[in-house]
Amino acid sequence: MAEREESPVENGREDGTGAADRPAPDGLPGSGGIPGPGARERRGAVAVLDERGVVVTWSRAAERLLGVDRSLIVGRPVTDLLTEVVVEDLSEGVTVGPVLDGGEAVPGRWGLWPAGPLPGGIRSGVLEAVFTQSPVGLHVVDADLRVLRVNSAAVGMRGIPEREIVGRPFTQVYERFTPLPVEGTLRQVLTSGVPVFDRRVSGYPRVDPLREHIFSVSIFRLEDDAGRPLGLVASAVDVTARERARDRLAVLHLVHERMGLLLDPVRCARELARAAVPILADVATVALTAPPLHGPDADRSRTPDETLRCVAVWPPNADAAPEVGTEVAPDGRSGGGPYIEPQSAGGPTLVAPIMLRGALLGVARFSRPARPDPFEGDDLHLAADLAAHTAVCVDNARRYEHSHAVALALQGNLVRRGGTTVGTGGGTLETAHRYLPTGLGTGAWFDVIPLSGGRIALTVGHIAGVGPDATAAMVQLRSAVQALAALDLDPHDLLARLDDVTRRLDEERSAAGSGEPLTAQCVYAVHDPVAETCAIARAGRQTVLVGRPDGSRRTRLLEETTALGQEGPPFAAEEIPLPVGSTLVLLSGHAATDDPALTELAERLTGPPPARRLSADALDALPADQAAVLVARTLALDPADVAEWDIAPALSAVAEARRRAVARTGEWGLTEDAAFPIELIVSELVTNAIRHGTPPIRLRLIRNPADHTVTCEVSDAGAAAPHLRRARAADEGGRGLFISGELSDRWGVRWLDEGKTVWTESAYDP
């Protein structure tokens, strides 16, 4: 249907005459609509019919109600609605009645209303109730953003008389509430027709000029029957209390989140100051007393030192705030709860003592120099909660520092004293180590353990965790490594047994209520100077580096395996050649192979001879997170210091073995007093191997000039384990191992892939 001509009724007139020419009621200019004296009567109808039943007015409300576009019905008989309306889709009925003018029916004019409309008096009462009794502030604004009407709630919220509001620009009336963003939002809704809900607007109303208030504002557009914008309705609700409560809860949550994992009193103080700005204060400062700052040593003082020292200021460049590190004068009221200082030039200030179990740990001060808002009771409660939580965290940090200091002292005394040292290991190795019992180092250890036959065991380990518990577990595992090393086990066998020890200790810790499971990393290597090999095994991800005399390096020596105490495959193990002049580097943790410090160390240890000297400086350059670093360089063992013979499986061979041993000790320059015990030891061990062992049998003597010892080893292929026992007076045998043990300084049994080796070690005077 072609666009219809504008109906005279819609223009507020009827054939050029009628009540529409009269002034519009309710102070709304240009009302227009169906003739009649009251705006409520004219606006009630959604459609108007003439005396013939032809539709002359069809508003947008009629379109929404009956689902028929005005272009399809205006100028047509109302009976045509029967063909246009789908009755089943209607959610509301329609009432038809005469159009009233001053209480009198207008001849030939009929109107359509939604079914069951409120009588005019009730509709008027509802509107008046909204504007006089609703707690929601309402503003009616025209298209020029001038205020046409406000309700009593809006007047009360702002403290501005109605006469100073109506007729004035909205932004001028509410200039104390960031008017520019509000004006932009109003014009946006007026242009687009899209309402805005729950827009937050803040400011200082005239009724309460010292406190910032926050309002939730929603804006809707007013339209005429043709959909043209007439103005806006803005509703406002004061949500200050709700928003302030939410902000305070957010501050408390932030402090709990940031401070919960901190074990440093100063960092706890800094997080408190940061979290308090800008919600609680514009400037926050925190000062602590001596005990939290000085750690466990402060506890030894007979009289408590309550000298306050500023440790945190936020923002850092705040004016009139004390500098970090300066002393702060104590307040006579610092021993109680939070309080508000009298108003000063710097604005209101809230003071919150940080106390725990009656002891003063510090004081937090919150000031508002940039805003007039006074502190309220809820602010005092928040400051009290913040101070209480900070006190607990600071005390926990103190306790941790105390236990950490104890653990470090214990660790340093149990492992090695000093930082970086260079020395020798049994004359077959030159070793250097760096030990830093700090941070992760509270559970780290290293050892250089002499073994039989001039062999040296090198081990570096690390317990997961810090503190005394980790130190105690470290001591237990380190002792277990030393005990297992005395059994001369292969490296992978030793780690397997150490894994059993770790699991047993973990079960004991769990039964005692210890929180974290016990796990550890360990690398164990055995250097054999005679065979010039190194058998090595690793549990975990520790870095192992091998450098050879020709300058080549191996950075990926072993595969990564699970740590001790965890389920996984067997531990990685390998036996590698390690000729004289080679270097072995063991770290307590994992380091990147391209780490510059590690690369520099490797270059120093594998370069030309002038640079191959073990240097403490090279170790000190390694990352500080490596608590234990052990470096070993293989030294030469003179072939003349090793003698080895095959022994025939007959008792007649004992005499020949003794003769050869005496001859070799003579070549080494041993005195008769030093050589005689070795001769007897050779006789007893060879006799036992012939009688109780299985061929082949071998005898080996090793002299170590560095530590002035001679090692005697007798090997056979038998699996029978020798036992030391005391023979009775009438026994003809059973004294071999006893005699050997008495004549030597150390003795033991080393199990081989096939058979065993019984060995003794005897010292001699040079």
Average pLDDT, the chain: 78
Domain end marker among 342, 374, 408: 408
- Structural domain boundaries enclosing 255: 246-408
Question: Do residues 250 and 232 both lie within one domain?
Answer: no
| 275: in domain | yes
Q: Give the domain CATH number at 140.
A: 3.30.450.20
| 53: in domain | yes
3-class state of residue 366 by DSSP: strand
624 or 446, higher pLDDT: 446
CA 610 to CA 131: how far, in whole Å? 97
Q: Give the domain CATH number at 266.
A: 3.30.450.40
Question: Do residues 721 and 588 both lie within one domain?
Answer: no
Question: Do residues 724 and 595 both lie within one domain?
Answer: no
Confidence of residue 433 (pLDDT cuts 50, 70, 90): confident
| 12: in domain | no
Question: Do residues 628 and 662 both lie within one domain?
Answer: no
Predicted pLDDT at 307: 81
Question: Do residues 53 and 191 both lie within one domain?
Answer: no
| 5: in domain | no
Q: What is the mean pLDDT of residues 202-207?
A: 82
Predicted pLDDT at 158: 65
pTM above 0.75, yes or no: no
CA 193 to CA 18: how far, in whole Å? 32
Predicted pLDDT at 387: 92
* 309 pLDDT more than 60: yes
Please state which of the ranges 193-197, 261-265, 507-511, 663-667 shows the lowest mean pLDDT.
Answer: 261-265
| 593: in domain | yes
Domain end marker among 238, 261, 287: 238
Q: Give the domain CATH number at 737.
A: 3.30.565.10
| 3: in domain | no
Predicted pLDDT at 513: 72
Question: Do residues 177 and 33 both lie within one domain?
Answer: no
Predicted pLDDT at 399: 76
Question: Do residues 660 and 590 both lie within one domain?
Answer: no
Question: Do residues 429 and 545 both lie within one domain?
Answer: yes
Question: Do residues 395 and 464 both lie within one domain?
Answer: no
* 540 pLDDT more than 80: yes
* 22 pLDDT more than 90: no
175 or 74, higher pLDDT: 74
For residue range 137-189, list pLDDT tens digits in order: 888 888 888 888 888 777 767 667 777 788 888 877 777 777 667 888 888 99
How many domains does the chain divide into? 5
| 11: in domain | no
| 598: in domain | yes
Q: What is the mean pLDDT of residues 572-590?
A: 87
Question: Do residues 285 and 156 both lie within one domain?
Answer: no
Question: Do residues 737 and 654 both lie within one domain?
Answer: yes
Q: Give the domain CATH number at 96.
A: 3.30.450
Instruction: Return the closest-CA partner of residue 440 out of 304, 627, 271.
Output: 627
Predicted pLDDT at 156: 65
Q: What is the DSSP string of 531-588?
A: TTEEEEEEESS--EEEE-TTS-EES--S---PPBTS--SPPEEEEEE--TT-EEEEES
Question: Do residues 476 and 373 both lie within one domain?
Answer: no
Predicted pLDDT at 438: 57
Burial of 431 (0-12, 13-18, 19+ CB in 10 A): buried
Q: What is the mean pLDDT of residues 437-459?
A: 79
* 724 pLDDT more than 80: no
- Does the CA dihedral 173-175-180-181 come out positive or negative? negative
Q: Give the domain CATH number at 630.
A: 3.60.40.10
Find out whether the peptide bond into 517 is cis, omega within 30 degrees of 0: no
Give counts: helices (H), strands (E), the chain: 18, 31
Alpha carbon 579 to its chain centroid, in Å, reads 47
Predicted pLDDT at 285: 93
In whole angstroms, how far apart are CA 449 and each of 460, 496, 710? 11, 19, 17
For residue range 25-57, list pLDDT tens digits in order: 333 333 333 333 333 343 456 788 887 778 888
Domain end marker among 581, 602, 634: 634
* Strongest mean pLDDT among 224-228, 304-308, 535-539: 535-539
* 654 pLDDT more than 90: yes
